[in-house]
Structure 1
Amino acid sequence: MRFPFFKKKTKKQRYTIAFYNLENLFDPERNTKILDKDYTPNGAKKWTVERYQRKLDKLSKTIVKIGDEDHPYPPALIGVAEAENNSVFKALLDTDAMDDLDYGFVHYDSPDERGIDTGLIYRKRFFKVLHSEPFALLVDNAGGVRDTTRDILYVKGELNKELVHVFVNHWPSRRDGGVETEYKRVIAAKEIIQKIELIKETELDPNIIVMGDFNDDPSSKSLQTMTEGAFLFNPFEKIHIPNSKGSSVYGNKWNMFDQILISNSFFKFQKNTHSFDAAAIYDHKSLKEKKGKFKGSPYRTFVSDRYMGGYSDHFPVYAVFTFNS
């Protein structure tokens, strides 16, 4: 279901911005500094070069089609989660589906013990990186031990020469319980608010895009803290239907952990600016389980250690913007 806001104008220049959790995009090589042993040819997942290449092919073909119901061209920006290192980004962009589109990427290794990071993929034709850096998310576990979670990736750039600030997130998981770990994601929300406040010290009405796998739904305390504290709009609040629609499934419940939030500045219609047009989950039939009790849910690469050969345990999400020329 698409989430339209405004009537289409004639001769629109439209651009898609997306987010996709890639579900453990590891290369097959062992890295003794992180916990990636399972994702090697001799590991529990039997992660061979062939399986790796197959996943790259599936992901790349999906990425270039995200949002094609609303806009037929490949996304200008794609935030991603669960990518291991620079080499997997390079391999992804070298696939047949993406090689000719002149994509670049921004990635930093994070302290995550499994080595799965966030990144931003961008079409150089439309987006110019001016500055980027990772922000450490400093949270402790219940016992006072540091949780080595993913950094928040910040990228400042120009989208069609308009200045935008992008935050790509993969917030702490719910592995130890949703309620028990809620405080970590609230801390992440407050970190984003602080960074946005710093931007506002030098820009009157900045263009902010906050995307990611937040491991919380739009109605959760963390997301509400961020939307209220940073005055952000979250189109996925109305898209999420817990019993039937979301970006991932856990325990027969649809979650909307993958979201894209935007500043109110994207509701202006001034010349040479971008205006928000629509947002949706990209849940094409090719990305879904075809049969069985999980029919309709994301077609995963693995279920535990069982190889399924699918894409990801998350659907991508996207937002479409109109450039006012």
Structure 2
Amino acid sequence: MMELLSFYNVENLFLPDPPPRHKLDPTNSGLRNWDERKYKNKLFKIANVFQMMKEENEVLPFIIGLSEVSGRKVLEDLVKLPPFNSEYGIVHYNSRDERKVDVALLYNKKKVEVVDSEAITFFFEIENKNTEYYDTTRDVLYSKLKYEEEIIHVFIAHLPSKREKDINKPKRIFILNEIQRRILDIVNDGGNVILCGDFNENPDDENLEKILYDDSHEKVLRNPFRQLFSTGNYSTFHYKSGLLFDQIILSKSFFKEDNILSFQRAVIFRPEKISSRDKRFEGRPFRTYSGTRYLGGYSDHFPVFVTLSKV
């Protein structure tokens, strides 16, 4: 038997904007003309990605990490659709992100029980001569799950972006250090850990290499997406650069044959249907928006997943 574990940055999944009272009023989503029709089309397309994943692998992911979702209602609307059919539960917390986008976990209620969960929130002090204030970012979502009789600890992250000459790099380092501290406490106690997300860094970046090791420089985590990136496989693009920001990192326990779930392969899921229709951008994701122009696609990221064999 096989199980799938997936992560997908779904690109700005917001509820429809109410009609503005004035032409220049800002919208909740920040998107241009984001209405009910576009929202429902987006929901259908995201659900359809997982339908295609199920058809190709004969099973739906039992755990799904999502990023760029805004609020619980969009998740409730999503899991009502096929192939989820209200059989998937939701773990979600509203973060203090300035764009109001969060990470979330969907799980198969027939296979998984949520034992505990927590939003790990980060505050960053901003130096200013006149006043003190804090900057915030997206939470990291922690969930303690029970799969059959085994406990699995899942962290889902969407780290600060590489913008304005990467001013957010210190924030990413700080967040990864905190995640690493928590993960080491778990793996040192023999626990199963999954760390997935949009890290805004490639697998070979120093920060993501460092998190794989403990204080004694012993490797405690493995990143199967490192090999995919080294052979030119990408989940998103920035101008001409291919990037693999979307990754699933696993504790060493998943690479043992006697573990309840053991790693088989890592995949960037990129069927033709969710790829760009424009020949200039062949092989890239078919995105919902390009700037302010509505394209009607799925997301500006491809989803990723790992397959796990069940003992």
Give the structure-1-normalised TM-score: 0.86
| Alignment deviations for residues 5-46 of structure 1 (CA, whole Å, 9 cap, x no partner) | xxxxxxxx110000000100000146xxxxx94456xx7510
Mapped to 2, the partners of 1:251 and 1:156 lie a distance apart of: 38
Question: 2:76 aligned with 1:90, yes or no?
Answer: yes
Question: 2:5 aligned with 1:17, yes or no?
Answer: yes
Change (3 A) 1:277 1:304: same
Equivalent residues of 1:117, 1:150 under 8 A apart: yes
Mapped to 1, the partners of 2:31 and 2:106 lie a distance apart of: 30
5+ unaligned residues in a row in structure 2: which ranges?
Answer: 19-24
Q: 1:208 aligns with which of 182, 193, 213?
A: 193
Equivalent residues of 1:281, 1:318 under 8 A apart: yes
5+ unaligned residues in a row in structure 1: which ranges?
Answer: 1-12, 31-35
Equivalent residues of 1:129, 1:155 under 8 A apart: yes
Mapped to 1, the partners of 2:207 and 2:127 lie a distance apart of: 18
Equivalent residues of 1:66, 1:316 under 8 A apart: no
Aligned to 1:157: 145
Aligned 1:164-203 pairs, distance under 5 A: 164-178=152-166, 180-200=167-187
Mapped to 2, the partners of 1:63 and 1:145 lie a distance apart of: 41
Change (3 A) 1:170 1:142: farther
Which range moves more in the overlay, 192-201 or 119-128? 192-201
- What's the C-alpha RMSD, in Å, of the aligned pairs? 2.1
Mapped to 1, the partners of 2:293 and 2:7 lie a distance apart of: 26
Q: 2:227 aligns with which of 238, 248, 267?
A: 238
Aligned 1:93-172 pairs, distance under 5 A: 93-99=79-85, 102-140=87-125, 146-172=134-160
In the TM superposition, what is the alpha-carbon distance from 1:192 to its structure 2 partner? 0.7
Equivalent residues of 2:17, 2:27 under 8 A apart: no
Change (3 A) 1:256 1:306: same
In the TM superposition, what is the alpha-carbon distance from 1:140 to its structure 2 partner? 4.6
Q: Could you tell me the percent identity over the aligned residues?
A: 34
Mapped to 2, the partners of 1:67 and 1:236 lie a distance apart of: 21
| Alignment deviations for residues 254-311 of structure 1 (CA, whole Å, 9 cap, x no partner) | 100000000001122227x111111110011111112232122110000011000000
Aligned to 2:64: 78
Give the structure-2-normalised TM-score: 0.90
Equivalent residues of 1:218, 1:224 under 8 A apart: yes
In the TM superposition, what is the alpha-carbon distance from 1:141 to its structure 2 partner? 5.8
Equivalent residues of 1:172, 1:184 under 8 A apart: yes
